[in-house]
Amino acid sequence: MARLKSCAQCHGEDGNSLNAGTPSIAAQPRIFLENYLVLTREGLRGSDAMQRLLKGLPDRDILAFARHYSSLKAVPAPGAVDRVLFERGRAIAARSRCGSCHLPDYSGREQMPRLAGQREEFLLEVMLQYRQNRRRGGDTMMSAALHGIPESEFPALAHFFSRLK
């Protein structure tokens, strides 16, 4: 599919992004990808660039994108591990039961995205968007899940998830 080439420009040939602010989409649960891409096609999620790319695309192509990227392997985000921050993030995630939805290894399932190995700055930005209710088309479930966790703890969470294999 020609449009896959455009996705690769931002998300990486293998779905593992090397661009700051652009998430990796390899090994994301198929249902999460389908939902996100359908809503983006309808202009309810995602960036303007993605909305233009997906506009008018038939469902079978969306399903094919989702199948393709969900079948690719995740390569953890690059960067050194800060042990103190990592352990702090691990403890907050355990205490907050993030794994009850995202799975204990944070690989995601169904409509819950993979957090393990995702880019750190993307995770941080998205959590702030949920907290401040400005994630376009975002699921309010996540704003509720972050309730009670101070924003000052978000960097530890983002660091922990991003360094998980």
**Binding of residue 164 to ligand HEC (CB under 6 A):** no
Residues in Cβ contact with 74 at an 8 Å cutoff, skipping those fewer than 6 apart: 16, 24, 26, 27, 114, 116, 117
**Binding of residue 43 to ligand HEC (CB under 6 A):** no
Closer to ligand HEC at the Cβ: 82 or 96? 96
Residues in Cβ contact with 151 at an 8 Å cutoff, skipping those fewer than 6 apart: 128, 131
State the binding string over 51-90 for ligand HEC (x if CB under 6 A, else -).
Answer: --xx----------x-------------------------
Number of amino acids touching ligand HEC (CB under 6 A)? 44
Q: Are 109 and 98 in contact (CB under 8 A)?
A: no
Residues in Cβ contact with 147 at an 8 Å cutoff, skipping those fewer than 6 apart: none
Region of 40 please: left (phi>0), alpha (psi -120 to 50) or beta: alpha
The structure tokens 């790319």 sit at 53
CA angle, 62 then 125 then 37, to 5°: 5
Residues numbered 3 to 42 that lie near ligand HEC (CB under 6 A) are 3, 6-7, 9-11, 21-23, 25, 28, 33, 36-37
Closer to ligand HEC at the Cβ: 82 or 143? 143
- What does the binding site for ligand HEC look like in residue numbers (CB under 6 A)? 3, 6-7, 9-11, 21-23, 25, 28, 33, 36-37, 46-47, 49-50, 53-54, 65, 93, 96-98, 100-102, 111-113, 115, 118, 123, 126-127, 138-139, 141-142, 145-146, 149, 157
